[in-house]
Amino acid sequence: MSDSSFDNSAFSSALRAVQARINAACDAAGRDPASVRLLAVSKTFGPEAVRAAHQAGLTAFGENYIQEAVAKTAALADLPLEWHCIGPIQSNKTRPVAEHFAWAQTVDRFKIAQRLSEQRPAELPPLQICLQVNVDGGPTKAGIAPHELSELVLAVRRLPRLRLRGLMCIPDPQPDAAAMQAVFARARTLFDDLRAGWDGPDPLPDTLSMGMSADLEAAIAAGSTLVRIGSALFGARPAKLADAAAAPSADPREG
Ligand SMILES: *Cc1c(COP(=O)(O)O)cnc(C)c1O
């Protein structure tokens, strides 16, 4: 986490450029820009980068590596920030997620959901969760298979210390924007089905988390309500850490 090179004015112009892309994508889709939240993905960037982003008006931050995130939340405890866990959650890492995050977007197994609910501290509001869905990949990819989703939804809704906010997906890059949008559209259909079948006292899920720096337009066209943007805001990540992001089990800090 290197802060010395952080450039506030470069951040502000990057933020304006990202907001312009979101606005243009919403215009093209006939959507209200207020219907798309911007989650700033601050993984590998230090507390000063997050502090500058907060000064520029951002309040919600996404982190992939639990240890790194816990250190950052401690260093930034004076700010009213909303932390989202967007990295893989192993069962031995559920406690710090339950204790330090407002959201966990990558829940894809009941066992993980159950541990998060049990470990959520009583003094905190319920942990907001998204279920990660594998809309494009093979059996080894993270995320629940679409045909198993409704069963997981039912089980997770019974857990007292979680609140299901919606779905999340991280599809692989596609050859062109139309193909990308078609994959995102599968997640949109699952989200629409989830909402259509919803009954009971807990609030209707409102979050479809999809879209990153390279594909936010296709995601917004398909109905994303939350885009997770890292490099377009903060710049390129260090190569070694970018590799770790692609293969999280290789991250030495998670060992
Ligand atoms: C790193 C990451 C992002 C941000 O990716 P960029 O391409 O830098 O915008 C978004 N979502 C997840 C799950 C990530 O791991």
Instruction: Look at residue 231 in the predicted model and tell me its pLDDT.
Output: 97
Residue-by-residue DSSP string for the chain: ---TT--HHHHHHHHHHHHHHHHHHHHHHT--GGGSEEEEE-TTS-HHHHHHHHHTT--EEEES-HHHHHHHHHHTTTS--EEEE-S---GGGHHHHHHH-SEEEEE-SHHHHHHHHHHS-TTSPPEEEEEEB-SS--TTSSSB-GGGHHHHHHHHHT-TTEEEEEEE--PPP-SSHHHHHHHHHHHHHHHHHHHHT--SSSPPP-EEE---TTTHHHHHHHT-SEEEESHHHH-PPPHHHHHHHHSGGG-GGG-
Q: Which of 86, 33, 40 is nearest to 63 (CA)?
A: 86
Each residue's pLDDT tens digit, 199-208: 988 999 999 9
> What mean pLDDT is predicted for residues 163-179?
96
**Angle value at C-alpha 123, between 121 and 129, nearest 5 degrees:** 55
Q: Which of 121, 78, 131 is nearest to 101 (CA)?
A: 121
pLDDT higher than threshold 60 for residue 72: yes
Instruction: Look at residue 238 in the predicted model and tell me its pLDDT.
Output: 80
Each residue's pLDDT tens digit, 110-130: 999 999 999 999 999 999 999
Q: In the CATH scheme, what is the code of domain 3-246?
A: 3.20.20.10
Q: How far is the CA of 227 from the centre of ligand 1 (A)?
A: 9
pLDDT higher than threshold 80 for residue 196: yes
- How high is the mean pLDDT of the chain? 92
Instruction: Look at residue 9 in the predicted model and tell me its pLDDT.
Output: 87
52 contacts 241 by C-beta, under 8 angstroms: no
Task: Detail the DSSP E strand segments found in 24-91.
Answer: 37-41, 60-63, 82-85
Place of tokens 């866990």: 85
Instruction: Look at residue 249 in the predicted model and tell me its pLDDT.
Output: 45
Q: At what angle do helices 47-55 and 66-75 cross, to 10 degrees?
A: 60
With residue 104 as reference, give the H or E element that holds it.
strand 103-107
Pick 242 or 190 by higher pLDDT: 190
Neighbours of 233 (CB within 10 A): 21
Q: Which of 87, 189, 205 is nearest to 157 (CA)?
A: 205
> What mean pLDDT is predicted for residues 239-254?
48
What is the percent of the chain where pLDDT is above 70?
A: 92
Instruction: Look at residue 241 in the predicted model and tell me its pLDDT.
Output: 52
Instruction: Look at residue 251 in the predicted model and tell me its pLDDT.
Output: 41
pLDDT higher than threshold 50 for residue 23: yes
Q: Which atom of ligand 1 is nearest to the CA of 43?
A: 1
- Ligand 1 site residues, Cβ closer than 6 angstroms: 41, 43, 64, 86, 170, 212-214, 228-232, 245
Instruction: Look at residue 252 in the predicted model and tell me its pLDDT.
Output: 42
Q: How far is the CA of 170 from the centre of ligand 1 (A)?
A: 9
Name the residue ranges covered by the structural domains of the chain.
Answer: 3-246
Instruction: Look at residue 253 in the predicted model and tell me its pLDDT.
Output: 42
For a mutational test of ligand 1's pocket, the pick from 41, 209, 226, i.e. the residue with the most ligand atoms closer than 8 A to its C-beta, is 41
Q: At what angle do helices 47-55 and 8-29 cross, to 10 degrees?
A: 60
Each residue's pLDDT tens digit, 203-237: 999 999 999 999 999 999 999 999 999 999 999 99
Instruction: Look at residue 4 in the predicted model and tell me its pLDDT.
Output: 53
pLDDT higher than threshold 50 for residue 255: no
Q: Which atom of ligand 1 is nearest to the CA of 245?
A: 15
Identify the band that residue 138 occupies on the pLDDT scale cut at 50, 70 and 90: confident
Q: How far is the CA of 123 from the centre of ligand 1 (A)?
A: 30
**Angle value at C-alpha 184, between 88 and 238, nearest 5 degrees:** 45
What pTM does this model have? 0.92
Q: How far is the CA of 200 from the centre of ligand 1 (A)?
A: 33
Q: Which of 153, 152, 150, 131 is nearest to 142 (CA)?
A: 131
What is the percent of the chain where pLDDT is above 90?
A: 86
Identify the band that residue 5 occupies on the pLDDT scale cut at 50, 70 and 90: low
Q: Which atom of ligand 1 is nearest to the CA of 168?
A: 13
